[in-house]
Every structure is written in C-alpha cells, then in structure tokens.
C-alpha cells in the first residue's frame, strides 16, 4: 500500500469525477484473464484486497489499480519447437528458408504454445488527487504509467494529463539544489547523487553514502548535469528526484509508517483508511514542496 516509486502527472484542465462514476467507468474496463491464445491482457482491478471496489475513496484521494497479465514463453522453448519445422521445410523446399518463412513458423509455434504458457500477473496502484488535480502512479516504469493513463483515458473519455514538472526547470533546479543547497522546504540533501555529461558518450558518476557538499562532488557540476538527487526529510520521506520527473526509492520514516500501529490489523478497513490517508497526504505535501521549488509562484 505504501508507494515505493512514482510517476506523477498534472491534469491540465479540471477533471470532475465522483467515486460512483469512476467505479462504473473502471468496471467497464475491468481486468479479464488471458484467454487460450491471448498473449496479454490488462484492465482495472481492486486496488486493495480488503475493499471489493474498483475505486477506493479516502477524502479527496481516489485509489484504483491496473492489472496486467502476460503469457511467458522463453525464447529457447520457442526455438526448440521451431527447429524441427524449419529443418523439415528446408528439406522439402531444397533451399534455406527466407526470413519471412521463419517468422511465419515462429508465429505458428508461438500461437500453439500460448495455451500451455505460464502467466505473469502484476498490478499497479494509482491515486487521483481531486484537490490537486494530480495523478500519482506507483511505478518507476514510464511504459507502465502510460498504460494506466491510456486505459483511464479510454474509461473516462478524456484525460488531459501532463508530466507534473517542466523538464528544463527541473534540470536547472537539480543543479541549483546540489550546488547552492537551497532545497525544497522541509528537505535536506541526502547521501546519493548521479551526474551525467551531456556529450554522446555521456560519462556518468554516482556518489552513494557520501557527503554531497564536498568539493569532490561539486567539482563534477562543471561538466555534468544532475540526473538523480536524494532528498530527505528528518522525520518524513526520503526520495530520489530524477531528471524525467519520476520519484524513486520512496521511504517513509518509521515515525510515519508506524503512526497507526495502535489500530492493529483486526479491523482491516479502518487500518486501510488510516494508512492510505496518511500515506497520500504525506506524499502530497512532499510533492507540493518539490513542485514549489521547481516552479516558484510568480
């Protein structure tokens, strides 16, 4: 339930949707397992096991999830099945097969193997913040995040979502945060940074468990750009802000993650309500500080 990596999108025009209408829209595009010859399938599923709804609302936060199932066919297995067919057809025609003929055999073999293939299923939870008009997707993968947005757009009819931070302003901000140490409110420098040269070779240097204010680190700013920087709140969140606007390695301080421990887990719904609100509000506040530091109010 606690997000670990985030792809974040800002809605460029307000989306007005309530729990009931979103529940119905998600249900229309609900997940269905792969059929026999279907290589993959995706659709919306319940974000939390303890609540049997496609949309879970906690104040202004609407949680939902995309489930994706893929059939796993190792290349070696396909090749083993293909080889006898290739050899037989080569003998029959008395010549080497063309690429098109081999591709046709591969397609035929893959189709025949799919009903016997193992399935891999993964879910990605997302949160729509109605107050901030922001979507936070719990994944480090841009393609997975785009899958979520694409299907949500189809379900709602439209979804004017853009990356939450301007990449040029973010790049300048990352440089400034490391160099001047004028950081987003409530944050301190962490102990990890990655820098990359802008040329074709793109030489990289990474410091981990290192004091980032030293000359050894700062000297690299002369010919490299910061592409990942760790920021830390004393008793809040630690995270790494990346050049593409993604947030990785989210960690909630024990004082946050254990705040609702006195509730126990006997009442699963009450614990979910408390933890999901705590997680979302803590993360939202941290993101607001970062966004304000990248794009100051005029």
Relative orientation angle of helices 75-93 and 99-113, to the nearest 10 degrees: 130
Q: Does the structure show a pLDDT above 90 at 206? A: yes
pLDDT band with cut points at 50, 70 and 90 for residue 82: confident
Long-range contacts, stretch 142-150, CB < 8 angstroms, 24+ apart? 142/7, 142/244, 142/246, 144/7, 144/66, 144/68, 145/7, 145/9, 147/42, 147/66, 147/68, 148/66, 148/124, 149/9
The whole-number average pLDDT for the span 189-211 is 91
For residue range 132-170, list pLDDT tens digits in order.
Answer: 999 999 999 999 999 999 999 999 999 999 999 999 999
Reply yes or no on whether the pLDDT at 13 is more than 80.
yes
Highest mean pLDDT (candidates 24-28, 84-88, 198-202, 252-256): 24-28
Q: Return the bridge partners of 69, or none.
A: 41, 121
Residue among 50, 46, 81 nearest 67 (CA): 46
Q: Are 68 and 121 in contact (CB under 8 A)?
A: yes
**Residue 217: helix, strand or coil by DSSP?**
helix
- Can you give the residue ranges of every domain in the chain? 7-73+117-163, 78-115, 167-294
Return the bridge partners of 206, or none.
Answer: 194
């Amino acid at each position: 339930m606690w997000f670990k990596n985030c792809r974040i999108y800002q809605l460029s025009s307000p989306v007005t949707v309530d729990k009931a209408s979103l529940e119905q829209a998600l249900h229309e595009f609900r997940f269905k397992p792969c059929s026999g010859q279907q290589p993959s399938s995706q659709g919306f599923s319940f974000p939390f096991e303890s609540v049997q709804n496609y949309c879970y609302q906690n104040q202004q936060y609407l949680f939902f999830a995309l489930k994706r199932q893929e059939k796993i066919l190792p290349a070696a297995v396909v090749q083993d099945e293909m080889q006898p067919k290739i050899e037989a057809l080569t003998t029959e025609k008395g010549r080497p097969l063309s690429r098109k003929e081999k591709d046709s055999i591969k397609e035929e073999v893959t189709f025949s193997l799919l009903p016997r293939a193992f399935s891999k299923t993964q879910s990605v939870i997302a949160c729509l913040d109605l107050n901030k008009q922001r979507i936070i997707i719990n994944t480090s993968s841009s393609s997975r995040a785009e899958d979520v947005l694409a299907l949500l757009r189809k379900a709602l009819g439209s979804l004017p979502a853009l990356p939450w931070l301007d990449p040029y302003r973010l790049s300048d901000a990352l440089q400034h945060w490391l160099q001047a140490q004028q950081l987003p409110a409530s944050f301190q420098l962490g102990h990890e940074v990655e820098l990359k040269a802008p040329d074709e070779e793109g030489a990289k240097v990474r410091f981990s468990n290192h004091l980032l204010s030293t000359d050894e680190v700062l000297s690299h700013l002369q010919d490299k750009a910061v592409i990942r920087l760790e920021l830390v709140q004393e008793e809040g969140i630690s995270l790494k802000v990346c050049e593409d606007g993604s947030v990785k390695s989210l960690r909630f301080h024990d004082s946050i993650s254990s705040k609702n421990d006195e509730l126990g887990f006997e009442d699963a719904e009450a614990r979910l309500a408390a933890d999901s609100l705590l997680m979302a509000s803590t993360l939202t506040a941290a993101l607001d500080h970062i966004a304000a530091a990248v794009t100051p109010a005029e």
